[in-house]
Amino acid sequence: REWFDLMDIDGDGLISAQELRCGLLSPACKPFTQPTCRLLVRIFDTHARNSQLEFGEFLELRSFLHEWSMTFLDQDHDRSGSIDQFELIVALSTIYKHQFNPQFISRLIALLKSRLSRSVHRMSLSLDAFLALNACLSRLARLYKTGGHRYTAPSLEDYLLRELPRMLDGEGEFLAAADNANNADGAQPRAPAASSVELSS
């Protein structure tokens, strides 16, 4: 709990997006962008919905960030601090056990560039943008796999391209759908476990 307490600057027992940004550094020792930190907090704040992370939510986030960061570094072969669209295909396939096509990846990068321009350069993603992307994909992929969504899509890619912009903008069905699915059996809402988001048939 020491790391959590160090990041909890105001001592209220919760981590805000600003506190998360102050406490997180990339492998290059650079802070993550404010939009990405706000997104991470919004997606992993699955209990009180107060735009802050409780200790348990923080542990979930930390576990995800470690896994995604390691996958990113494995694909960043030239240690440039970014991965191109072909490396991104391999990275996402590793995480989600699903083979995404190059056309989808190109559209994905273009979408991220329009919202996270500081983290997306030409056709490559920084670690910052990669983490933001996976925070969204992990939730949406779980909804798609379990049927916890209200939109009938021809494919996973179609569903992601429809919902991802809304999620990045703080909208979309995933918030209500996630709450309904978790509250139906009286359980507290939780961020999806990485091991449960395998999409291969």
| Segments making up each domain of the chain, as ranges | 56-196
Question: Does the structure show a pLDDT above 70 at 180?
Answer: no
Q: pLDDT at position 123, please?
A: 67
**The tokens 């990485």 sit on which residue?**
194
- Look at 17 and 183; give whichever has higher pLDDT: 17
Q: Which residue has the higher pLDDT, 171 or 159?
A: 159
Amino acid of residue 41: V
Collapsing DSSP to helix, strand or coil, 150 comes out as coil
Name the CA radius of gyration of the chain, rounded: 16
Whole-number pLDDT of residue 109: 82
d(CA 192, CA 36): 18
With a cut of 80, say whether residue 48 has pLDDT above it: no
pLDDT at residue 166, as a whole number: 84
**What pLDDT digit, counting tens, does each position of 91-150 carry?**
999 999 888 988 999 888 888 777 665 555 566 788 988 998 999 999 888 888 877 566
Q: Lay out the sheet containing 124-126: strands in order across.
A: 82-84, 124-126, 120-121
Q: How far is CA 156 from the centre of its chain?
A: 17
Q: Please give the CATH topology (third level) of the domain spanning 56-196.
A: Recoverin; domain 1 (1.10.238)
* pTM for the predicted model, two decimal places: 0.76
